[in-house]
Structure 1
Amino acid sequence: MDALIYTAMSGAERALKAQQVHANNLANIDTNGFRANMELSAAQAVNGYGYDDRHMSQLQANSVSTKAGVMKSTGRDLDVAVAGDGFLTVQTADGEAYTRAGAMTLSADGTLRLNGNVVLGEGGPITLPEYTKLDIGTDGTVSIQSPGTTTMQTIDKLRLVKADATQLTKNEAGLIVARDGQPLATDPTVKLNPGYLEGSNVSAVEEMVATMSLNRTFEVQMKLLTSTDSMAEAGNRLISGS
């Protein structure tokens, strides 16, 4: 009887944690470049002698949806959106990380940043000197026109990477990282849409449907627990002869 209790308890716990994943997705529906988290479940045996036939459901919410978000034109020189698959590269305290959020800013010393993180080019962090015109090409080339000149000068090229979705996860800051912890290789096939930003790839309808389904699943698990308790009491009465 207690094996059924484990099954119901595990299912209820999984439903609650999965709701948190979908709630986080909905909370970031207006976050530019946000990639929706995907929840997956795996069976985990209960440790201890005599528990071989009892398993718990272990939720894994470290998969990332690579579905494209909606492109929005901004006309801003420092805004870029990745066209198709691929990511921009930033430097964090823990090493390289990747993002689709392309609303870049300039710090006081001219360093390109994304949400506080330094933007990396193929030559390292990108720092721009004083300029009168800025151009970011579809291949990630960053060019400027210096004051008093009429020609464009190439400063660096944004480090654009690509990887299969199975190789990617998120760190604690919500940035994309490689599962093996190693930097991804630069991919020259990745292209940009300058002057655009990509919205979140979260579908409000899909997230709400998933949440309602999880609510029903949780209710079923609670009914199972109640039924298990009733069956256990009936069994005890039979054994005691009462």
Structure 2
Amino acid sequence: MDRSVYIAMTGATQTMRAQAEVAHNLANANTTGFKAELSAFQSLPVQGDGLQTRINGVAQGIGFDATQGNQMATGNDLDIAVQGNGWIAVQTPDGAEGYTRAGNLRIDADGLLTDARGNAVMGGGGPITVPQASSVKIGGDGTISVVPLGQAPNTLTTTDRIKLVNPDSDQLQAGSDGLMHMKDGSQPEADANVRVVSGTLESSNVNPSDVLVKMISLSREYEMQVRSIKSADENAQSASKLLQVG
């Protein structure tokens, strides 16, 4: 069979992989605190027998876009947005630490402070538990203050402080659970310089217009690869008929 079929088939497969990441970004255009995943076509050598000069164009993830999303005022005291660089530390179901910019926090029935996915928010000594209170406030440094039930509004009690970290972006990688994780599995220390503002959320940094343009471009590339496969097949059939006539 014509080798062009294999070349076009490889191109179509990798284009589909790139399209999947673009679709993932578009699907999260309205997800609070989402960071767009970045991918690019890279030249990788073909493993196995044959000349070492053979390469394939492979679509691979190259990290995420750390640009800050827009700030949206909500007026909810449990909504926080990280200002500038930094992340909110949460506990994953397996007990490890993950990091998020999604500050739409909740207090569950057991008083546990969680993110919107149900992951416990980490404090100075582990997951944060908020006692029953008439109001809960989160300060700029992540300090959680409550007004105990039955107390005057000016009676504030500090319960804990949200763990805010600021590792380098190249040390983080996106996980399938929607959180960022340290590549080496370590847990960065809390950074007192990271600030948050309450009553505000950070939107996704995905630009739907740019993503749609990229999606259309990849669709056209895929169609071109499929047409190449069909052309190679038609040429093979024509050649076979000529040989039969001969």
> Would you call these one fold, judging by a TM-score over 0.5?
yes
CA separation of 1:189 and 1:4: change in aligned 2, threshold 3 A:
farther
Q: TM-score, normalised by structure 2?
A: 0.86
Shift of 1:152: 1.6
Shift of 1:5: 4.2
- Listed as ranges, the matches of 1:153-164 within 5 Å are 153-164=157-168
- Listed as ranges, the matches of 1:202-213 within 5 Å are 202-213=206-217
CA separation of 1:113 and 1:42: change in aligned 2, threshold 3 A:
same
CA distance in 2, matches of 1:220, 1:66: 33
Query: Is 2:121 the counterpart of 1:126?
Result: no
> In the alignment, what sits opposite 1:42?
42
One-letter code of the match for 2:199? G
Check the 8 A contact 2:164/2:192 in 1, yes or no.
Answer: yes
One-letter code of the match for 1:32? T
> In the alignment, what sits opposite 1:59?
59
> In the alignment, what sits opposite 2:137?
135
Instruction: Name which of structure 1's ranges 131-140 and 47-56 shifts more when overlaid on structure 2.
Output: 47-56
Q: Secondary structure at the match of 1:43?
A: strand
- Listed as ranges, the matches of 1:104-123 within 5 Å are 104-114=105-115, 115-123=117-125
CA separation of 1:227 and 1:53: change in aligned 2, threshold 3 A:
farther
Check the 8 A contact 2:15/2:59 in 1, yes or no.
Answer: no
Shift of 1:184: 2.6
One-letter code of the match for 2:144? V
Percent identity, aligned pairs only?
Answer: 39
> In the alignment, what sits opposite 1:219?
223
Q: Deviations over 1:71-119 (max 9, x none)?
A: 1111111110111121111101231001111111111221101121100
Q: Secondary structure at the match of 2:122?
A: strand
CA separation of 1:53 and 1:2: change in aligned 2, threshold 3 A:
farther
Shift of 1:212: 0.9
Shift of 1:204: 0.7
C-alpha root-mean-square deviation of aligned residues, in Å? Answer: 2.7
CA distance in 2, matches of 1:166, 1:41: 19
One-letter code of the match for 1:111? L
CA separation of 1:227 and 1:163: change in aligned 2, threshold 3 A:
farther
One-letter code of the match for 2:155? T
Instruction: Name which of structure 1's ranges 164-173 and 119-128 shifts more when overlaid on structure 2.
Output: 164-173
> In the alignment, what sits opposite 2:169?
165
> In the alignment, what sits opposite 2:23?
23
CA distance in 1, matches of 2:141, 2:105: 16
Shift of 1:137: 0.8
Q: Mind listing any 5+ residue stretches in structure 2 that lack a counterpart?
A: none
- Listed as ranges, the matches of 1:2-21 within 5 Å are 4-21=4-21
> In the alignment, what sits opposite 2:101?
100
One-letter code of the match for 2:67? K
CA distance in 2, matches of 1:91, 1:230: 57
Check the 8 A contact 1:62/1:169 in 2, yes or no.
Answer: no
Shift of 1:188: 1.7
Shift of 1:6: 4.2
CA distance in 2, matches of 1:2, 1:137: 66
Shift of 1:235: 8.7
> In the alignment, what sits opposite 1:91?
91
CA distance in 2, matches of 1:22, 1:188: 35
CA distance in 1, matches of 2:182, 2:8: 35
Q: Deviations over 1:198-230 (max 9, x none)?
A: 111111101001001111221232344345556
> In the alignment, what sits opposite 1:196?
200
CA distance in 2, matches of 1:180, 1:6: 38
Check the 8 A contact 1:3/1:53 in 2, yes or no.
Answer: no
